[in-house]
Amino acid sequence: MKEIQVGLIGFGTVGSGLAEVLIAQQQRLEKRTGLSIRLARVADIMTRELPLQFAGVQLTNDANDLFNDPDIDIIVELIGGIEPAKTFMLKAIEAGKHVVTANKALISQEGWEIFEAAARKNVEVGFEASVGGGIPVIKALKEGLVANRIESIMGIMNGTANYILTRMTDENIPFAEVLKDAQAQGFAEADPTYDIEGIDTAHKLAILVTMAYGMKISLGQIAVEGITRIEPVDIQFAREFGYRIKLLAISRNHGDHVEARVHPTMVPDNHLLASINGAFNAIHFTGDAVGNVLLYGQGAGKMPTGSAVAADVVDIARNIQSGSVNRVPALSYLPDQFVDRRISTMEELSCPYYFRISARDEPGVLAAIAGILSKHGISIESVIQKGRKQRGPVSVVMRTHTAQESSIKKALHEIDSLEHVTSETINIRILETEE
């Protein structure tokens, strides 16, 4: 039986997950591929000894030992971050190794350099685990949905943010409190910035947009808003209006231009994305032939990510076996077929909006607000006024019909300048769906 040797850089949570998957599934993979896919070497600077179950796997603290090993076919990078991950990937490619990674920051920011280097050396780059963890979403986009013009992408792609919003929704407790608890339980990082500010989600959206439409996009072109200003009161009002608040990545393909944005979004209760709870991820595509498709699963974690990385390893092993390396282009379109498309600005966006205006409970407030909205061509779908106390401000909560973001911004600027209004208005975009 032909042997495929795998080298692994990084023996942290995901790295040891991959190692466990490869050992546990060795026999099953033989029965499916006719190949012996074997973890041969691990490079890690922190690990002094591999657990007993990995007897026979060589450990080194120098990644160069993997690049220089002529028997290694595939090198997996699971250290995360930009450097030294990028240098390791490029060195592995230079040494003629196929590479696999789960590193969304690297692929979304420095991907082109890596893909170009791989094309020159005719090796493969696998990155299934970089989006949606264990969910086979990259393969679905490249192969299963190949005969579709992708019209839109909508996704819950950060488990930490979704976990926090779910607990805020179910338990009616504030963001900071849930975050603290999530950190204590290991569901959120010590520095959760990338997760809660939407940056991690934007990395993943950039990868999907590139592949779905065959275009280049840089992270700076994606408008990103996190979930830190969402309050339980907004979640409760959302429920009264029939919505759940989710941190969504949204992209729509308008042909000559493309939307690409990440922000908290009110999702109608009857949309499947509203039912995605806890640390789970889901990615929803609309294709011109297939219609609506959704893929759901664990977007992170040791074993789910290990499952996706292993799928890439098997895919490449099969191509080595069949002599069909780069049978499917890494980014779904052939490298010379990428086109430029304009990314629209947030000001161009049109959707319904939710506002929560804090105002003193005085006559004329609602009239003043309504006047401003009307002046900017924004029509109100419904209003809730709650929280009337002895003294102090009340919440005026509104849902608008579809309006343009540029008008919304101007109107909110004027509303927030009213003397009745006591603090900055919260506004949350509402998802428009055909379903």
Q: Which of 169, 298, 344, 358 binds a copy of itself (CB under 8 A)?
A: 298
Residue with smaller CB distance to a copy of itself, 194 or 280: 280
Q: At what angle do helices 175-184 and 159-171 cross, to 10 degrees?
A: 120
Based on the shown chain and the rule CB under 8 A, indicate whether residue 332 belongs to the binding site for a copy of itself: yes
Residue 323 lies near a copy of itself (rule: CB under 8 A): yes
364 binds a copy of itself per the rule CB under 8 A? no
* Window of 256-264, 309-317, 358-366, 398-406 that interacts with a copy of itself by CB under 8 A: 309-317
Give the N- to C-terminal CA distance of the chain in Å, as an integer: 50
Region near a copy of itself per CB under 8 A, out of 51-59, 224-232, 247-255, 300-308 = 300-308
Nearest Cα neighbor of 137 from 25, 289, 14, 294 is 294
Q: Identify the residue among 25, 47, 385, 406 touching a copy of itself (CB under 8 A).
A: 25
Q: Which region among 48-56, 236-244, 306-314, 407-415 touches a copy of itself (by CB under 8 A)? A: 306-314
Shortest spacing between CB 89 and a copy of itself, in angstroms: 22
Only one of the segments 51-59, 64-72, 315-323, 352-360 lies at the binding site for a copy of itself (rule: CB under 8 A); that segment is: 315-323
Shortest Cβ 84–a copy of itself spacing (Å): 27
Contact with a copy of itself (CB under 8 A) among 289, 363, 417, 434? 289
**Binding residue for a copy of itself (CB under 8 A) from 80, 84, 268, 301?**
301
Q: How far is the CB of 296 from a copy of itself (least distance, A)?
A: 4
Q: How far apart are CA 348 and CA 359, in angstroms?
A: 29
Question: For the chain, what is the radius of gyration of the CA atoms?
Answer: 24
Query: Rounded CA gap, 98 and 143, in Å?
Result: 20
Please report how close the Cβ of residue 268 comes to a copy of itself at its closest, in angstroms. 12
What is the smallest separation between the CB atom of 71 and a copy of itself, expressed in angstroms? 22
Asked if 247 and 411 touch (Cβ cutoff 8 Å), the reply is no
Closest CA to 104 of 213, 277, 222, 19: 222
Q: Of these residues, 91, 97, 204, 246, which one is catalytic?
A: 204
C-beta of 93 vs 279, nearer to a copy of itself: 279
| Shortest separation between residue 32's beta carbon and a copy of itself, angstroms | 5
**According to CB under 8 A, which residues from 208 to 237 bind a copy of itself?**
214
Q: What is the largest CA-CA distance in the chain?
A: 83
CA distances from 179 to 198, 273, 300 (A): 15, 22, 17
Q: Determine the interface stretch with a copy of itself among 32-40, 94-102, 184-192, 390-398 (rule: CB under 8 A).
A: 32-40
Comparison of 134 and 226: residue with beta carbon closer to a copy of itself: 134
Give the position of tokens 């029965």: 31
**Residue 134 vs 198, nearer CB to a copy of itself:** 134
Which residue's CB is nearer to a copy of itself, number 158 or number 358?
158
Note whether 122 binds a copy of itself by CB under 8 A: no
Active site residue 180: no
- Beta strand pairing status for 261-268 and 342-343? unpaired
135 binds a copy of itself (CB under 8 A): yes
Task: Report the residue from 223, 315, 330, 365 that binds a copy of itself according to the rule CB under 8 A.
Answer: 315
Structure tokens at 344: 């629209």
Q: For the segment 251-270, give every residue that binds a copy of itself (CB under 8 A).
A: 270
Q: Is 139 in the site for a copy of itself (CB under 8 A)?
A: yes
Query: Which parts of 147-206 interact with a copy of itself (CB under 8 A)?
Result: 147-149
Say how far apart CA 22 and CA 33 lie, in whole Å.
13
Strands 35-43 vs 2-9: parallel, antiparallel or unpaired: parallel
The correct pick among 90, 95, 119, 140 for binding a copy of itself (CB under 8 A) is 140
Binding residues for a copy of itself, rule: CB under 8 A, are 17, 21-22, 24-25, 28-29, 31-34, 128, 134-136, 139-140, 143-149, 214, 270, 272, 275-277, 280, 287-298, 301, 303-304, 306-308, 310-311, 313-315, 318-319, 321-324, 327-329, 332-334, 337
Active site residues: 204
